[in-house]
Structure 1
Amino acid sequence: MSDITVNVIDVNEQNFQQVLLEESTRRLVVVDFWAEWCSHCKVLMPILEKLAEEYNGQILLAKVNADEQQAITAQFGVRSLPTVAIMKDGQPIDGFAGAEPESAIRERLNQHLPAPWEADVKAAMELMQQGQNDQALALLRGAYTVSNEEFAIGLLIAECYLNLKRSKEASEILAAATMEQQLEPKYAELVSRLELMQEAADTPAIVELQQKLASQPDNLALKVELAVQYSQAERVEEALQTIYEVVQKDKNYQDGAARKTMLDILNSLGKGDPLAIQYQRKLFTLMY
């Protein structure tokens, strides 16, 4: 039964060992002991079947007709119907007797299942190891939202931003840490990386252009040059804001070259990047 793909199965003495013992090493097996005459069983079973389909392969609902499979029923010590046993690695780890509401059963299952975002986090970590931080960010942002901003995922997002040399976004994530969270070794490691990056961020060319622009704040040519320098230093948000100010002042500056520069910077960001979406909207509003 190693290739089983079904989510619901009837258990008998022929498949008992495969379903309840072997399959439970691969996923949770929810064993439902029922009988035709049991009214509560008829209330509970549709709920279990619905959850088995909804969890889509994470659990297997194993239905045991207690009247027909008396040996299996006796082996589990079932005294009343319905009775539900939740099995993992060949052993019962949870269960209940009687009909429970769907919310209570769901809560039981979730205690024994990986969090729904864990697969995305695992995939994101593999992408990070391959240097594909943009793709990893897309997965991590979704997991961060669904997990109600789990701190460990936030640290991975900050690490991605640092790998992409986007210190401002990394700083915003790290700044939200509580005092207790700041004790995490990974937090201290990322803060050290951030500080080193920030110290190295002001290249001589950037400093010179900033000084010139301070005395000539309306010089659009200086702003374009500074935006390019910011982009090359991977200070993406500062690059976008600076070039946006140019386009805002003159949509056709340098025959649209400033607008093209802004689009090039936006295109360098990963699909679905919040920063890209923010400035795409700004540019769209400005142009149309």
Structure 2
Amino acid sequence: MESLAVNVIDVTEQNFQQVLLEESTRRLVLVDFWAEWCSHCKVLTPLLEKLAEEYNGQILLAKVNADEQQAITAQFGIRSLPTVAIMKDGQPIDGFAGAEPESAIRERLNAHLPAPWEAAVKDAMALMAEGRPDEALSLLREAYVLSNEEFAIGLLMAECYLDLKRANEAATILDAATMEQQLEPKYKELFARLELMQEAADTPAILELQQKLEQDPDNLELKTELAVQFSQAERVEESLQSIFEVLQKDKNFQDGGARKTMLDILNSLPKGDPLAVKYQRKLFTILH
């Protein structure tokens, strides 16, 4: 049976099985036992209704009129009103009697609900499976911040960066791993990929230009050419840094060609990409 497209429902013997048993396999169900004569119920029930709407599909408030649904009330062994049972997978996992403050109820709910960033991570993993790491990254970055930089999310970000051949950013994440985290199989797999990518990144053209620049470090033509070569090797950050150094020296170099090169590299990055934002700001400071 499909999930109920509501956040609040009245429970009867007719819908008891779907609401309390089947629906609780999909989301948390708060079973609110109340009665018209109960003054505390008149305070608690509206609060629960507000929370059910606010959590927007994560919980279902199932209201049981204890006077009208005595069989259900007896089945739960309810001795006083209001009483709230929290159900998951057809079983009560928590609950309380009396009118608890909103903060305490939120604390109970959050203890049993997925972390707020888990949905974003799930969506990001689906995008990665579809070969869309650039779109996955935007979701993962937000989740990474919200989760206080949870290592598992960092590994997913590093994987996306490697898929995009952005070795420097992958290395930044992997280099921050603790000794214990480095023992994880996923870390070892990604680190091996990073090493292979770094070894393959130094093309003959890049090595030649780097050697020439060591002899002539102020040669803007060489730096521009190196930026293009870095970009073609998908070493994006090094490409941006190289062309930015050219523009710092001469913002009109090559009659604006160097500026166009930098803008082309920036436009190749996903919208809102932190690297793009960083270098857009840098470019803005020297052009204005």
Q: Give the TM-score band, short-chain normalised.
A: over 0.9
Which runs of structure 2 are paired with 1:231-242 in the superposition (5 Å)?
Answer: 231-242=231-242
Question: Could you tell me how far 1:101 is from its partner in structure 2?
Answer: 2.3
Matched-pair contact (CA < 8 Å) for 2:3–2:23 = no
Provide the secondary structure at the position in 2 that maps to 1:21: helix
Which runs of structure 2 are paired with 1:102-141 in the superposition (5 Å)?
Answer: 102-141=102-141
TM-score by length of 1: 0.95
Provide the secondary structure at the position in 1 that maps to 2:254: helix
- Residues 36-76 of structure 1: CA deviation (Å, up to 9, x unaligned): 23232223222211211111011110111212222211111
Question: Could you tell me how far 1:82 is from its partner in structure 2?
Answer: 1.3
Give me the whole-angstrom Cα distance separating, in 2, the residues matched to 1:118 and 1:190: 22
- Residues 139-196 of structure 1: CA deviation (Å, up to 9, x unaligned): 1101111111111000000111111111111111111112221221111111111112
What's 2:83 paired with?
Answer: 83
Provide the secondary structure at the position in 2 that maps to 1:87: strand
- Residues 235-268 of structure 1: CA deviation (Å, up to 9, x unaligned): 1111001101111211111111111110111011
Provide the secondary structure at the position in 2 that maps to 1:123: helix
What's 1:230 paired with?
Answer: 230
Give me the whole-angstrom Cα distance separating, in 1, the residues matched to 2:27 and 2:204: 58
Provide the secondary structure at the position in 1 that maps to 2:272: coil
AA at the equivalent of 1:223: K
What's 2:208 paired with?
Answer: 208
What's 2:36 paired with?
Answer: 36
Question: Could you tell me how far 1:138 is from its partner in structure 2?
Answer: 0.6
Provide the secondary structure at the position in 2 that maps to 1:95: strand
Percent identity over the alignment?
82
Give me the whole-angstrom Cα distance separating, in 1, the residues matched to 2:140 and 2:203: 31
- Gap regions ≥5 residues in structure 2: none
- Gap regions ≥5 residues in structure 1: none
Determine if the alignment matches structure 1 residue 244 to structure 2 residue 240.
no
Give me the whole-angstrom Cα distance separating, in 2, the residues matched to 1:271 and 1:27: 34
AA at the equivalent of 2:161: Y
What's 2:287 paired with?
Answer: 287
TM-score by length of 2: 0.95
What's 1:60 paired with?
Answer: 60
* Aligned residue-pair number: 288
What's 2:161 paired with?
Answer: 161
Give me the whole-angstrom Cα distance separating, in 2, the residues matched to 1:4 and 1:269: 41
Determine if the alignment matches structure 1 residue 189 to structure 2 residue 186.
no
- Residues 175-233 of structure 1: CA deviation (Å, up to 9, x unaligned): 11122212211111111111121122211111111111112111110000000011111
Provide the secondary structure at the position in 1 that maps to 2:23: helix
